[in-house]
Amino acid sequence: MDDECGGDERRDDDGDKGGDGIEGGEYGEGAGEIRGTGGGGGTDRGEGTDGGGWTGGDEVVADDEAIPVARAVDHGFAKLMPDVDRPRAWLLTVDGAPQSYVDLDEPTYLEFEYARRLAHVLDTAAGPGRPLDAVHLGGGALTLPRYVAATRPGSRQDVVEADRGLLELVAEQVPWAGGDGISVHAADARQWLEAAPDDSADVLVADVFGGSRVPAHLTTVAYARTAGRVLRPGGVYAANLADGAPFAFLRSQLATFAAVFGELALIAEPSVLRGRRFGNAVLVASHRPLDIAALARRAASDAFPARVEHGDALRRLIGGAEAVRDEDAVPSPEPPDGAFVIG
């Protein structure tokens, strides 16, 4: 299942002080707790594509008040819960883990930090308001596709999600406006990408988790090469990952994408980079220079500021890590107990 895992990473009262993690190339011990280990998709929806296509429905309401909706889907038990503080805003969970948050009235409102960091990449991928051709591997409640449709009208977007039942739930209960250029595909992310045309996307966002782990087949050099083929020469790849010290998985992913792309960056909170806790990190890759200054300004302005690492800092982090081959691939690590919290 492609899941967009949200929630809140738990933080210590002393903020980012202490720890021996990634700071000048040093690596800390252990993993902390996580506020949001997201992954890609809860649902796909769109204008009618593979397997029929979804066009949305009506929110479930009783006496003008939204009520929770629960349903078994293909890969778990899903719930849509209304936010009491924001009219027509919903939290999607699967098997109790927060997957996605969407505000139907304000699609540019992003509740989860990792979603905001992915949005920073989307915001800097082209000039303000310019339409993009975007591919989303995993979509949750279509948080980021709705964001792009609102901020870049006229964009063409493909959303790929493996859980058809989850797609149907989202389409029925948190519908989207028609004619917004979003097409949905009920398919495995890598298989769909392998069939996609060359040079067809400006941005490719990978936010795919099976449960709480990135699937192994989306961690390899062969996969990265496929992503590079689908992207246009100036295109940008962004992936939501999760790891903790000593960062074996994160280091391997940086090495893997460094084998394919000439430019890399990593966006994460200092407490994660210092090894204080298990948390999200957004990997950014391109064949062209990235606008590091713009990404850094946006990441630093968030409620929970993040840092953008690139150049020598990333090379020190990669160290002796090797690129991942298909035959050696493993999923990302299991988050520690109690990693996901709601609220």
Structural contact between residues 20 and 29, judged by C-beta atoms closer than 8 angstroms = yes
Q: Which residue has the tokens 């109790």?
A: 96
Take residue 342 and report the two structure tokens written for it. 């709601």
Determine how many CB atoms are found less than 10 A away from the CB of residue 262.
Answer: 10
pLDDT for position 298: 97
Amino acid at 60: V
What pTM was estimated for this model as a whole? 0.83
Residue pair 235/284 in contact (Cβ under 8 Å)? The answer is no
In order, the DSSP letters of 141-172 are TTHHHHHHHHHSTT-EEEEEES-HHHHHHHHH
Give the pLDDT score at 338.
66
Q: Name the stretches of the chain with pLDDT < 70.
A: 1-64, 338-343
CB 20 within 8 A of CB 247: no
In this prediction, residue 177 carries a pLDDT of 79
Spatial contact of 158 and 135, defined as CB atoms under 8 Å apart? yes
CA-CA distance, 44 to 188, in Å (whole number)? 12
Measured CA to CA, the distance from residue 259 to residue 181 in angstroms comes to 33
Q: Which tokens go with 339?
A: 């990693």
> In 3D, which of 134, 155, 272 has the Cα closest to residue 203?
134
Q: Report the SS3 class of residue 235.
A: strand
User: What is the model's pLDDT at position 342?
Assistant: 52
Using alpha carbons, select from 237, 177, 174 the residue that is nearest to residue 208.
237
pLDDT tens digits for 89-143? 999 988 887 889 999 999 999 999 999 999 999 999 999 999 999 999 997 899 9
Nearest Cα to Cα of residue 33 among 337, 343, 342, 269? 337
Give the Cα-Cα-Cα angle 297, 299, 302 (nearest 5 degrees).
Answer: 110
CB neighbour list of residue 28: distance below 8 Å, 6 or more residues apart? 19, 20, 21, 22, 245, 246, 274, 275, 276
Q: At what angle do helices 292-300 and 113-124 cross, to 10 degrees?
A: 150
Domains of the chain, first to last: 50-328 (3.40.50.150)
- Residue of 56, 112, 102, 98 whose CA lies nearest to 82: 102
Q: What is the DSSP letter of 200?
A: -
Taking a C-beta distance cutoff of 8 angstroms, is the pair 142, 134 a contact?
no
Q: Is 265 helix (H, G, I), strand (E, B) or coil?
A: strand
Q: Residue 102 contacts by C-beta under 8 Å, 6 or more apart in sequence?
A: 89, 90, 92, 140, 141, 142, 143, 146, 174
